[in-house]
């Protein structure tokens, strides 16, 4: 594991890690969830897991997240989508590989869904813990009190969560994008192989979301529901099933 950094389109420095096996022909870019970071939960495990299988893996913090530059309060999913382009540029400038796979988890899966069709450099797409439509999924991320604060104050304050995000402000513009960004439209434009993996007992996103996403996506596509698994596949047995499914798909 090696620390890396690159600039996004706004000149902000984004920081992350590269996991480099001795031999590889496929590179992976992993997009973390919200308000997590590239070393939280799934992000912490995916680099070592796939590197051991012979994949080059890039993980990074989106702008406004933990180690990267930018203000958390100004975060937007549309900004994260733009960050993806510069992460992929970084890989192509610095490493030689034959295939590229984009993997997103949770909000990172939202970003991946919105971005993948735009970039022909991406050969395959994997979505973990994904939603099918942002309009109904705003309630997955924000409770009634937070929604009221968005409308009355114009922002919320994170009272819980990881140390780096605790007591930080987030402006209403982030919430507003749940009603303007269009996952179904973007996914219908994506025409390359797609794998959707979801925990049967995902506590954050119900299983009917990935099923709906699968239904609207174009072929070739595959949906894997991991029995008894939660949103982040914390159980080692469940994580092994996720890695095995990704390995079969990426070959």
Domain of residue 105, CATH code: 3.40.50.1820
Of the candidates 19, 42, 20, the one whose C-alpha atom is nearest the C-alpha of residue 243 is 42
Which residue is listed with tokens 């922002």? 155
SS3 assignment, position 124: strand
How far is the C-alpha of 214 from the C-alpha of 154, rounded, in Å? 35
- CA atoms within 13 Å, Cβ hemisphere of 222: 14
Longest dimension (CA), the chain: 54
| Domain extent at residue 69 | 2-137+183-250
Q: How many domains does the chain have?
A: 1
Average pLDDT of the segment spanning 205-223: 97
Supply the mean pLDDT for the chain.
Answer: 96
Average pLDDT of span 42-62: 97
In-domain check, residue 64: yes
- What pLDDT, in 10s, does the model give residues 67-101? 999 999 999 999 999 999 999 999 999 999 999 99
Does residue 118 sit within a domain? yes
Which among 215, 29, 33 is positioned nearest to 123, based on CA atoms?
A: 29
- Domain assignment present for residue 104? The answer is yes
What's the predicted TM-score (pTM) here?
Answer: 0.96
Whose CA is closest to 39, among 198, 164, 204? 164
- 151 belongs to a structural domain: no
Q: Residue 13 has what pLDDT?
A: 99
The sign of the torsion formed by the CA atoms of 48, 49, 55, 61 equals negative
Please report whether residue 171 resides in a domain: no
In a domain, 169, yes or no: no
217 close to 190: Cβ distance less than 8 angstroms = yes
Distance CA 52, CA 249 (A): 16
Q: Is residue 163 part of a domain?
A: no
Residue 64 near residue 8, CB atoms below 8 Å: no
pLDDT reading at 160 higher than 80: no
User: Which residues make Cβ contacts (< 8 Å) with residue 220, sequence separation at least 6?
Assistant: 193, 194
Half-sphere exposure of 47 (CA within 13 A, CB side): 20
* Residue 166 domain flag: no
pLDDT of 161 reads 66
């Amino acid at each position: 594991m090696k620390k890396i950094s690159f600039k996004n389109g706004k000149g902000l420095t984004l920081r992350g890690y590269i996991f480099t096996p001795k031999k590889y022909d496929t590179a992976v870019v992993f997009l973390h969830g919200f308000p997590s970071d590239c070393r939280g939960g799934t992000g912490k495990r995916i680099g070592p897991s796939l590197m051991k299988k012979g994949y080059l893996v890039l993980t990074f913090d989106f702008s406004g997240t933990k180690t990267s530059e930018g203000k958390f309060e100004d975060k937007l999913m549309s900004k994260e989508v733009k960050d993806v382009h510069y992460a992929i540029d970084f890989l192509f400038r610095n490493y030689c590989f034959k295939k590229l796979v984009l993997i997103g988890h949770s909000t990172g899966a939202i970003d991946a869904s919105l971005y993948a069709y735009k970039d022909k450099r991406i050969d395959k797409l994997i979505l973990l813990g994904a939603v099918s439509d942002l309009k109904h999924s705003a309630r997955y991320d924000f409770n009634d009190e937070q929604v009221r604060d968005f409308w009355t104050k114009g922002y919320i304050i994170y009272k819980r969560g990881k140390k780096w995000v605790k007591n930080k402000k987030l402006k209403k513009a982030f919430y507003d994008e749940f009603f303007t960004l269009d996952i179904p439209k973007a996914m219908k434009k994506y025409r390359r192989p797609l794998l959707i993996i979801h925990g049967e007992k995902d506590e954050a996103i119900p299983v009917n979301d990935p099923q709906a996403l699968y239904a609207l996506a174009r072929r070739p596509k595959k949906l894997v529901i991991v029995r008894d698994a939660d949103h982040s596949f914390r159980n080692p047995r469940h994580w092994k099933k996720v890695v095995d499914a990704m390995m079969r798909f990426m070959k």
